[in-house]
Amino acid sequence: MYLLNNRCCVAAALIITLVFIMVDNTAALEHNPGRPWYIPDLISVQTAGYIGYAAGGIGYLSFHRFWESTLFYGYVPEEIGGREIHTMSWKNSIYPIRISLGDICEISPLYLGATFLFALDKSVHWQYSTDCPDWYYPPTGFHGALNFGIQVLIRSRLLEVIHGFYAEITMLDTYMKAYFWDDHEHLHFNDCATLALGYKIIF
Amino acid sequence: MNKKNLNSHILLTNADRPLNRKQFLRNLGYSALASMPALLLPGCYFDLEYSPYMTNVDYENLNAGNLEKIAALEAGREYGNTYRFGLISDTHHFYTETKKVIGIFNSRSDLDFVVIIGDTTNQGLLREFNWGYDVIKKLKYPYINIIGNHDCLDYGIEIFEKMYGPLNFSFSFLGTEFICFHNNNWESSEPDYGWLAQKASSSTAAHRVLFAHIDNSGCAFNRFSQSQVDTFNNIISEYFDCAIHGHAHENSKEDMVNGVPRYQIGSPGYGHYMVVTFNNGIFEVERCTF
């Protein structure tokens, strides 16, 4: 049931994302009105935040960059993670506050987001023994995370693109439960959250 | 909406005025000054965690180190002497309550060691193992940890083996053989009953105690087939003085199976722990609450 619920949530979010991209593709409207809706608006790289030692992805912007959706592939080498890890992450963020600093820079002092993380490894259980009731564990090959952060966008006149730098704090669902529900007294916020740093180029 | 109107809402696309080099550098400097503290300050407070599935442990073979300390406690004592050990299980995310039990154990001076009967995590994640270790390392007594079903999730078995050591192992103390057995079948593979039978039958100790996270005589959630239950019960009744389990989260009354007592230790989260005393050839179990 957990797996079914999670799949339904992801499917619903995916449909909403596609609708958003089709209804309002900001970058395409801004920079290239003739660009088809399915061509990505940005390329992003990120380290940490649970999505990989090195993660790269493509993303879409909608509603005048108020909303952003990026699909990442993440990799952790064995030397760093104890084993080689491959993940796919789907990250959605909204930027409710944007402050202009001159005409080439814009700061989003607080953006909010949610990430769905999928382990690309069969040995991470999606389902357990057939004898195990499906309600017994949530699927561990899938995790959700919430994040908030700050982003700085700088326009490059030379390259006709926008460079974005961001830092965010991310909290995994398991750690969120531990911190908010299970033991708020012992655990500290920084025990349960991680920093992520990233760069994106909007074209 | 034409492009001009649209762009009026978008800060970075309404700069029709060309920037000279000085303005460009000035704006860049302002941007960097404004953003750098916000970008870098969190780095002082938060770690970078690349993946929840990482298995690179900071501590290795903790059980082996503690078993050496337990062995050292035998010095000057004879087989059959009285000894006492504490038991905790299913600490999961109950860190505050686990610290209370550890405080109770540390306030006593009559224990020899402590056994943790598994489930120090919820999802077998490295960070959870580290949280658990940060609490149990405060024990003043040597301790051993046995794998529980939740510890097996994700890459938990790999982490456990690196951090604590083998899943099936044994040690002896003052004439008693303690055999620690991994029987989390849903989350792993078929329990190695052959290893258990061989280990128990080859032991020359006067007494034997089994530690295994799940009491499979109870067929918890129909985990085990009747054949597995019979095999387990037969091994225990043939070789062991008693069997001690966790998993149920509440201290159980003594449950006799084929004439051998079985105990389930509760979780600190439910205010439960146990103390076992070996005295005059008998294991006396004290079910404690706090």
Identify the pLDDT of residue B73. 96
* Subunit contact A50:B31, Cβ cutoff 8 A: no
pLDDT tens-digit readout, B7-53: 333 444 444 455 566 766 666 666 666 666 666 666 677 889 999 99
Identify the pLDDT of residue B137. 96
- In this complex, is the C-beta atom of A51 within 8 Å of any C-beta atom belonging to chain B? yes
CATH of domain A2-202: 2.40.160
For residue A93, the cross-strand partners are A68, A113
Domain chopping of chain A, boundaries: 2-202
Report the pLDDT averaged over residues A16-26. Answer: 64
Contact status, residue A106 vs residue B11, Cβ threshold 8 Å: yes
How many angstroms separate the CA atoms of B24 and A203, rounded?
20
Identify the pLDDT of residue B114. 98
Residues in chain A closer than 8 A to B3 (CB atoms): 29-30, 33
DSSP state of A178: I
* Subunit contact A190:B46, Cβ cutoff 8 A: yes
pLDDT digits (tens), chain B, 290 positions: 333 333 333 444 444 455 566 766 666 666 666 666 666 666 677 889 999 999 999 999 999 999 999 999 999 998 888 999 999 999 999 999 999 999 999 999 999 999 999 999 999 999 999 999 999 999 999 999 999 999 999 899 999 999 999 999 999 999 999 999 999 988 888 899 999 999 999 999 999 999 999 997 655 657 888 889 999 999 999 999 999 999 989 888 778 888 899 999 999 999 999 999 999 889 999 999 99
pLDDT tens-digit readout, A143-179: 999 999 999 998 887 777 899 999 999 999 999 999 9
Identify the pLDDT of residue A51. 96
- In this complex, is the C-beta atom of A165 within 8 Å of any C-beta atom belonging to chain B? yes
- In this complex, is the C-beta atom of A85 within 8 Å of any C-beta atom belonging to chain B? yes
Identify the pLDDT of residue B2. 38
Q: How high is the mean pLDDT of chain A?
A: 85
Burial classification of residue B281, based on how many CB atoms lie within 10 Å of its CB (0-12 exposed, 13-18 middle, 19 or more buried): exposed
Express as a percent the part of chain A with pLDDT over 70: 82
| ipTM field | 0.87
Identify the pLDDT of residue B221. 53
Tell me the whole-structure pTM to 2 decimals.
Answer: 0.87
> Which chain A residue's Cα is nearest to B45?
A190
Residues in chain A closer than 8 A to B33 (CB atoms): none
* Residue for token pair 């970078």: B48
The pLDDT confidence band at residue A76, using thresholds 50, 70 and 90, is very high
Least Cα distance to A17 among A92, A123, A125 occurs for A92
Say how far residue B161 (Cα) sits from the centre of its chain: 11
Residue bearing the bigger pLDDT, A122 or B127: B127
Contact status, residue B90 vs residue B264, Cβ threshold 8 Å: no
How many angstroms separate the CA atoms of B289 and B249, rounded?
12
Residue bearing the bigger pLDDT, A31 or B276: B276
Identify the pLDDT of residue B144. 97
Among A48, A131, A175, the residue with its CB nearest the CB of B127 is A175
Distance from CA of A20 to the nearest CA of B (A): 17
Express as a percent the part of chain A with pLDDT over 90: 52
Say how far residue A170 (Cα) sits from the centre of its chain: 9
What is the number of alpha carbons within 13 Å of residue B145 lying toward its C-beta? Answer: 31
SS (H, E, C) B226-253: HHHHHHHHHHHHHHCCEEEEEEEECCCC
